[in-house]
Chains A and B, each alone.
Chain A
Amino acid sequence: MTDMVSTQKKNVVHHVVSWLLRNHIWVFLALTMAVFSFASPYFLTLNNIGNILTQGAFIGILAIGMTMVMIDGEIDLSVGAILALASALAIGLQDHMGTWPAVFLGLMSGAALGFVNGSLVALSGMHSFIVTLGGLIGIRGIVFVYTGENALMVQDFSYTEIPEIYIGPLSLTAMLFFALALFFQWVLTSTRHGRETYAVGDNIEAAHDAGINVKRHKIINFTICGTMAAVCGILLSMRLGTAEPNAGKIWELWTIIAVVLGGIRLTGGFGSMWMTIGGVLTLAVLRNGLRLLNTPNYVELMVMGAVLVLALSLDKLLNHQEDGR
């Protein structure tokens, strides 16, 4: 009896340890939070935690789409530009057709651009880095043409009150982030599409031999990624009440940093939304904590760079221990 209990205990411990090894970012997150709560008395207040979650949610929603694309072994550099276009359309079109149709069209623009990215990658055989690098520049160009290089202001200020819904410290934006992340985690583990994502990223030949339509599959994931970027852009336009043509610039890099920080590999086939959530929160905590400590901007960048390299070395180290790769 005691034997059974102790083996059960061992199993639980083993399970927890192996989960933490694969999701080591959560340990990292706990550590950073501990450090900042000692360093600043404001850090561990309910108000500040709410701020962190809301600030993190924007990169987080981008990171959800990026995760799908990266498990496929691809990358999407155009999310920042898609975000800017969606936010400009959502605000710019409101005067002509009303709020919700404009928001809908903004979303559709993201889905359409994601579809184009995916089709170009899947059908032309070009690397997604090149295709979406083109998207990064080209779509930003469209944004400047559409906005006439000016920030678009919202006329109807009730638009900015849409996301002002809170449950405790949790804003609507943060809630949306968590809901979407959980939904796509479910997609990854429990649907055919999710299994395909791992198979394609892990062993594309095996996936193809198993009859998976690799091209269609990749197009779907790029479309998801574009749509997530549009969701993020629209939430940003609601929060700011304006659409800057420069909105979301280099956010694609922060997004990739967050995803990679979570432990997802650029080579694909590996990862989960739990890792992404961990990476996104760690990034948000670092930025918030450093600002609370009044760190100059350039020091902040240096710290972030160091943390990224550190976290990835940790990943390398732990995975060596785990399966000897």
Chain B
Amino acid sequence: MSDMVLEVRGITKTFPGVKALDNVSFDIRAGEVHALVGENGAGKSTLMKVLAGLHRADGGEIIYQGQPTEVSGPLDARKKGILLIHQELSLAPELSAAENIYLGAWPTNRFGVLKKRELRRNAKSALEALNCGFGPDVRVGTLSVAMQQMVEIARAEAFSANVVIFDEPTASLTDNEKTQLFHTIRGLKERGVGIVYISHKMDEIFDITDRITVLRDGQVQGTVETAESDLNQITRMMIGRTLDAYFVKAEANFGEEVLRVDGLGKQGLFKDVSFTVREGEVLGLYGLVGAGRSEVVETVFGVRKADSGRLFWKGGEIKLPSPRESIDMGMALVPESRKEQGLVLMMGGRENTSLPHLSLFSDVSVMNRTKELAVFEKYRSALSIKTTGPDQALSQLSGGNQQKFVLAKWLCADPKLIILDEPTRGIDVGSKSAIHELIADLAHQGLAVIVISSEMPEVLGVSHRVLAMSEGAVVAEFEGDAMTEENLIDAVSHHRKGIAAE
């Protein structure tokens, strides 16, 4: 096709242990907005980084304006007219808007002295073309996030970009700012710029894009015309099917209500979320990334603040707790990212297990090694953790075994409610089923368990009851025979369709 600005053919990129992109081909036409969607880890960002010169592909070719092209680096990409607008903006807050637009490519004379007037004039016209409402001299650090984004977009004007890639551009924008941004994107489109639009928000995708390409596990699942597609189709392409594994479900034997959440809401994240969980019950929380699942449980646990809503703990109303109070009450939250939030990887299993409960293991502040070792051994055998000893650094263990230590350290405080956020992400199959068994075992012992997962078979397999979340709201609840993949997909995509239609 003649109006193709950029085409990638058979791009492959491997990182140690992961095939991030596997024979990916797609193209961008002049004057179109092309959405790139997929769950986290599908390869969207890697693909964009290859196009913008931040990564080099292992195989395949990039054809730009009809010519096979090598993109040697980010500045090269920008000079050729391919501009990536990051989720985290790549600006220097202490420099002015003009200096940021031309970051690294400032107009200078032979001796490296800035041509300030030229810089200012060019930046001014780029900002004016976008109707930015601020001048070239303003210090970027004083601008709002939306305005900072405009500074990045102004680079498209300044370098006469032919391809602009937006990576989650609305992540931190208000509704008004979003409308403004879409207006700008349509303006770029009219001038024949090819736009790649990466987002998790389906309503935006259906609002602004012309075509949609779905990535999953580094492979293209297909490209469709937005007008001829619907959310159901896209959602199915994104989620796909995985082989049903064998899941153990705890015998349903529920006791008293442990936690009741009533009308919990937080501006911009989720609204009017209500649910209960009982002793011995596993409650599944399903939804795509961005549905607000993690935010809800983090709010219940006290990591985030809520705007509205009430909490009941064992039947009595409590005020929204701090994390410390939650732990003391008997709540445990096992976060998604082990390395950032869960473990000190340089320390061994013994020290990690006792870390959140040092007072339980110490006599007048002096650590009691015997107690620590006893608990370590207990969980090592209970969870069949493979480690050479109590002091082997966790960084040497596999992801699955690290995850077991995360569980161990929360379990040894004897919680009443344990919340697991994506407990099996990125770990091997063997460890996965060990963790599934453990979840069933915990429920059997009478704990209340909440499991968040993006993997449908997992959430259906381990839970007694499943809540479907979409766009910050609980859209459906399934129990017993109603817990099927069809029902979950329908609930999630119908709700999204409803929002997109509004």
How far is A191 from B141 in the complex, measured between Cα atoms in Å?
Answer: 21
Say whether A210 contacts B74, CB under 8 Å: yes
Say whether B103 contacts A206, CB under 8 Å: yes
Which of the candidate stretches A126-134, A175-183, A196-204 sits at the interface with the other chain? Answer: A196-204
Contact of A211 among B99, B105, B142 (CB under 8 A): B105
* B116 interface hit (Cβ, 8 Å): yes
In the complex, the chain B residue whose C-beta lies closest to that of A196 is B104
For window 298-325 of A, CB contacts with B under 8 Å fall at 323
Contact of A199 among B78, B103, B113 (CB under 8 A): B103
In the complex, the chain B residue whose C-beta lies closest to that of A269 is B94
How far is A193 from B95 in the complex, measured between Cα atoms in Å?
Answer: 13
Say whether A190 contacts B116, CB under 8 Å: yes
In the complex, the chain A residue whose C-beta lies closest to that of B90 is A206
Say whether B92 contacts A205, CB under 8 Å: no
Contact of A202 among B73, B95, B142 (CB under 8 A): B95
The contact string, 1 if C-beta is below 8 Å from chain B, for chain A 116-150, is: 00000000000000000000000000000000000
Residue among B105, B112, B142 with max Cβ neighbours from chain A (10 Å): B112
How far is A243 from B104 in the complex, measured between Cα atoms in Å?
Answer: 43
Say whether A323 contacts B141, CB under 8 Å: yes
* B54 interface hit (Cβ, 8 Å): yes
* A96 interface hit (Cβ, 8 Å): no
For window 71-88 of B, CB contacts with A under 8 Å fall at 73-76, 78
Say whether B92 contacts A211, CB under 8 Å: no
For window 44-76 of B, CB contacts with A under 8 Å fall at 54, 73-76
The contact string, 1 if C-beta is below 8 Å from chain B, for chain A 256-277, is: 0000000000000110000000
* A207 interface hit (Cβ, 8 Å): yes
Say whether B91 contacts A206, CB under 8 Å: yes
The contact string, 1 if C-beta is below 8 Å from chain A, for chain B 91-134, is: 11111000100011110100111101000000000000000000
Say whether A212 contacts B95, CB under 8 Å: no
On chain B, the residues within 8 Å of A210 by CB distance are 74-75, 78, 90, 103-105
Min CB gap B71→A, angstroms = 12
Question: Given that A195-B99, A198-B92 are contacting pairs, would A211 and B104 also be in contact in the complex, using a CB cutoff of 8 Å?
Answer: yes
Say whether A195 contacts B106, CB under 8 Å: yes
How far is A210 from B95 in the complex, measured between Cα atoms in Å?
Answer: 14
In the complex, the chain A residue whose C-beta lies closest to that of B114 is A190
How far is A194 from B94 in the complex, measured between Cα atoms in Å?
Answer: 12
Say whether B94 contacts A207, CB under 8 Å: no
Question: Given that A202-B92, A270-B94 are contacting pairs, would A207 and B104 also be in contact in the complex, using a CB cutoff of 8 Å?
Answer: yes
Say whether B104 contacts A202, CB under 8 Å: no
Min CB gap B102→A, angstroms = 9
Say whether A192 contacts B112, CB under 8 Å: yes
The contact string, 1 if C-beta is below 8 Å from chain B, for chain A 58-99, is: 000000000000000000000000000000000000000000
Say whether B113 contacts A205, CB under 8 Å: no
In the complex, the chain B residue whose C-beta lies closest to that of A190 is B114
Q: Please classify the interface of chain B as helix (H, G, I), strand (E, B), loop, or mixed, using the class held by over half of its residues.
A: loop
Contact of A203 among B76, B93, B111, B112 (CB under 8 A): B93
Min CB gap A110→B, angstroms = 22
How far is A196 from B106 in the complex, measured between Cα atoms in Å?
Answer: 10
Say whether A211 contacts B90, CB under 8 Å: no
Min CB gap B186→A, angstroms = 27
Say whether B94 contacts A191, CB under 8 Å: no
On chain A, the residues within 8 Å of B142 by CB distance are 323
Contact of B112 among A191, A212, A269 (CB under 8 A): A191
* A209 interface hit (Cβ, 8 Å): yes
How far is A210 from B114 in the complex, measured between Cα atoms in Å?
Answer: 17
The contact string, 1 if C-beta is below 8 Å from chain B, for chain A 198-228, is: 1100110111111110000000000000000
On chain B, the residues within 8 Å of A193 by CB distance are 112
For window 149-203 of A, CB contacts with B under 8 Å fall at 190-196, 198-199, 202-203
Residue among A190, A196, A199, A208 with max Cβ neighbours from chain B (10 Å): A199
Say whether B75 contacts A211, CB under 8 Å: yes
How far is A198 from B95 in the complex, measured between Cα atoms in Å?
Answer: 7
On chain A, the residues within 8 Å of B106 by CB distance are 192, 195
Say whether B76 contacts A211, CB under 8 Å: yes
In the complex, the chain B residue whose C-beta lies closest to that of A271 is B94
On chain B, the residues within 8 Å of A209 by CB distance are 54, 74-75, 90, 104
How far is A256 from B210 in the complex, measured between Cα atoms in Å?
Answer: 57
Contact of A269 among B92, B113, B116 (CB under 8 A): B92
On chain A, the residues within 8 Å of B112 by CB distance are 191-193
On chain B, the residues within 8 Å of A203 by CB distance are 90-93
Residue among A194, A196, A211 with max Cβ neighbours from chain B (10 Å): A211
Say whether A195 contacts B114, CB under 8 Å: yes
In the complex, the chain B residue whose C-beta lies closest to that of A268 is B94
In the complex, the chain A residue whose C-beta lies closest to that of B79 is A211
In the complex, the chain B residue whose C-beta lies closest to that of A210 is B104
Residue among A195, A207, A212 with max Cβ neighbours from chain B (10 Å): A195
Say whether A202 contacts B94, CB under 8 Å: yes
On chain A, the residues within 8 Å of B92 by CB distance are 198-199, 202-203, 206-207, 269
On chain A, the residues within 8 Å of B90 by CB distance are 203, 205-206, 209-210
Say whether B113 contacts A191, CB under 8 Å: yes
In the complex, the chain B residue whose C-beta lies closest to that of A325 is B141
How far is A190 from B111 in the complex, measured between Cα atoms in Å?
Answer: 11
Min CB gap A269→B, angstroms = 5
How far is A212 from B92 in the complex, measured between Cα atoms in Å?
Answer: 13
For window 131-176 of B, CB contacts with A under 8 Å fall at 141-142
Question: Given that A190-B113, A190-B114, A195-B114 are contacting pairs, would A212 and B104 also be in contact in the complex, using a CB cutoff of 8 Å?
Answer: yes
On chain B, the residues within 8 Å of A199 by CB distance are 92, 95, 103-104
How far is A194 from B114 in the complex, measured between Cα atoms in Å?
Answer: 9
Min CB gap A268→B, angstroms = 9
Min CB gap A303→B, angstroms = 32
How far is A296 from B75 in the complex, measured between Cα atoms in Å?
Answer: 58
In the complex, the chain A residue whose C-beta lies closest to that of B88 is A205
On chain B, the residues within 8 Å of A196 by CB distance are 104
How far is A323 from B143 in the complex, measured between Cα atoms in Å?
Answer: 10
How far is A196 from B75 in the complex, measured between Cα atoms in Å?
Answer: 14
In the complex, the chain A residue whose C-beta lies closest to that of B113 is A191
How far is A39 from B76 in the complex, measured between Cα atoms in Å?
Answer: 62
In the complex, the chain B residue whose C-beta lies closest to that of A202 is B92
Say whether B75 contacts A202, CB under 8 Å: no
Say whether A195 contacts B95, CB under 8 Å: yes
On chain B, the residues within 8 Å of A202 by CB distance are 92-95
Min CB gap A278→B, angstroms = 18
Min CB gap B137→A, angstroms = 12
Q: A-side interface residues toward B, CB under 8 Å?
A: 190-196, 198-199, 202-203, 205-212, 269-270, 323
A-B contact pairs, 16 of them (CB 8 A): A190-B113, A191-B108, A195-B99, A195-B106, A198-B95, A199-B92, A202-B93, A202-B94, A203-B91, A203-B93, A206-B103, A207-B104, A210-B105, A211-B76, A269-B93, A323-B141
Please name the 10 residue pairs, one residue from A and one from B, whose CB atoms are nearest each other, closest first. Answer: A211-B75, A210-B104, A206-B90, A202-B92, A210-B103, A209-B74, A192-B112, A199-B92, A211-B104, A212-B104
Besides the known contacts A199-B103, A202-B94, A206-B90, 15 further A-B residue pairs in the complex with CB atoms under 8 A apart: A190-B114, A191-B111, A191-B112, A192-B108, A198-B95, A199-B92, A199-B95, A202-B93, A203-B90, A207-B92, A209-B75, A209-B90, A209-B104, A211-B73, A269-B94
